Structure 1
């Protein structure tokens, strides 16, 4: 029997796909991920660069939004088969933060979880409510008999090892105890945090703000996560961060974060 091939899944908050398109295309060409979840497109649907991505070898589905939010899924050499364009649980929620599809035999979601700042206030309340909705939906996915991956910018710093200076971030929405507990409650459904699983206790970041050369000094946060259900987690090979993308000119403040897995049988 021929060995199963490897698939590379990645998440990348592009922080404006119009501005960062050269960075995105350069990364796709060099790393050639098979499945990509994008966040923070900051573009309406008609401004999404579908033709450029198609020329690069990627089919795409997306949900845009003017000036902020926006999520997409890319498939190398294929077209994602869309299953959802919104997180269930609140039909009035118009923010473009969730999209889900089947790609290369895997159910994949691209997630842009609310930031929640400033707190206290309505933005923080919305974050916690959104996480409750995500937990309910994730619970319907984790036990499926086929592989599932939740990829995205979760805007959650899970533990103090995931931030360069915990004291400096103590008042931020990303690090609050109830936010951490909400994230942990999702993981405890049976999801594997692939980057932490692969890195052990090693410090690893996925985001570096634009202040005081934090990227160059590696003073960052781990807020981009790759959660795998048990069916997919058993095929986990390795995970990492393409930090070189963050160090490029006019880069997003996030770096692509990825995991490699053995492909489902028949893919």
Structure 2
């Protein structure tokens, strides 16, 4: 019986470029006896027909993907060994799949949800999300971001009414508080930290979700994203914009939440690091 399920999110900034790193990271976690049972990816940057299903399955994982040429794209990857016996293939591993926010006309592939049955656990509803960046508060892209956030909130409210065990994982492109920013004074009035974005984040919390990372004592200056420019990672000039939000039922079972900075040290890395939450059966 599975005693612990580890779920994670990682903006890989191109699965075509970063597939070797994804496989390496998953294998490293296995070797450390801390396997990742579900991994939600963001920024696939390729179409569905080019998604590496075969390579992932050969490594022991099944995955569901919603791709798009050049931009965006999300996926949910699950470890076959962690699935319940009746969830042995693509059709049974990902139940009630949803692609994009229902009722919100949008060609950008940013949401993928599915219910997963792990061994010895009640089903878990996983939502892999890639929030819009917004560019700047005076841009059309920011208007799009706020509209998208409003649609997400309405849909998640409905999802939570039907799924008490829900996790929202991904790149939110929002640093919830100044603690999540390396130098708040340099970001005043900018995208990712603006009051409307932070208020939208808080409304998600008010739906009945909890920021798993903040459930536990964490080291100061803990970030999940660092700009490629100006030695951002080396200086730890980062932000915490990748999150795992848990419904109350999963919050009660969460035993740890962390950021794994190791992959950010590798050659040609994503600018994001994986974030992880551990859920007890």
Range 229-238 or range 193-202, more displaced? 193-202
TM-score where L is the length of structure 2: 0.89
3-state secondary structure, aligned to 2:231: coil
SS of residue paired to 1:41: coil
Residue aligned with 1:175, SS: coil
Aligned counterpart in structure 1 of residue 114 of structure 2, from 71, 81, 101: 101
Q: Equivalent residue of 2:237, what SS?
A: coil
Is the CA contact 1:50–1:60 (under 8 Å) kept in the aligned structure 2?
Answer: yes
The residue aligned with 1:158 is: 176
1:188 matched to which residue of 2?
A: 206
CA displacement at 1:43 relative to structure 2: 0.5
Residue in structure 1 matched with residue 156 of structure 2 by the alignment: 138
- For residues 191 and 122 of structure 1, what CA distance do their matches in structure 2 show? 29
1:24 corresponds to: 22
Taking the aligned partners of 2:151 and 2:26, their CA distance within structure 1 comes to: 32
Shift of 1:203: 3.2
Query: Which residue pairs with 1:45 in the alignment?
Result: 48
For the 8 Å contact 2:11–2:273, the answer to whether it is kept is: yes
Q: Does 1:228 align with 2:246?
A: yes
Deviates more, 1:113-122 or 1:192-201: 192-201
Q: How does 1:224-263 map to 2 (within 5 A)?
A: 224-263=242-281
Alignment partner for residue 60 of structure 2, among 57, 61, 67? 57
Q: Distance in 2 between matches of 1:98 and 1:86?
A: 5
In structure 2, the partner of 1:89 is: 103
195-204 vs 177-186, which moves further: 195-204
Q: Within 2, Cα distance between the matches of 1:246 and 1:75?
A: 22
Structure 1 residue runs of 5 or longer lacking an equivalent are none
Alpha carbons 1:109, 1:149 under 8 Å: kept? yes
**1:212 and 1:199 mapped to 2: Cα distance?**
29
Answering whether residue 58 of structure 2 is matched by residue 72 of structure 1, we say no
Root-mean-square deviation (CA, aligned residues, Å) is 1.5
Contact 1:145 1:231 (C-alpha < 8 Å) held by counterparts: no
> Is the contact made by 1:45 and 1:62 (CA closer than 8 Å) also made in structure 2?
yes
Shift of 1:218: 1.7
Q: Which runs of 5+ in 2 are unaligned?
A: 30-34, 84-92
Deviation at 1:147, TM superposition (A): 1.0
TM-score, normalised to structure 1, is 0.93
Query: Structure 1: how far apart are the matches of 2:3 and 2:164?
Result: 17
Counterpart in the other structure of 1:178:
196
**Do the aligned residues in 1 keep the contact of 2:125 with 2:163 (CA within 8 Å)?**
no
Q: Is the 8 A contact 1:59 1:80 kept in 2?
A: no
Question: Cα–Cα, structure 1 residues 236 and 144, in superposed 2: closer, same or farther, change >3 Å?
Answer: farther
Secondary structure of 2:239's counterpart equals coil
Distance 1:145 1:14, change over 3 A: closer
* Residue-by-residue CA offset, 1:41-84 (whole Å, 9 max, x unaligned): 00111111111100111100101001110000001005323420
1:119 corresponds to 2:133: no
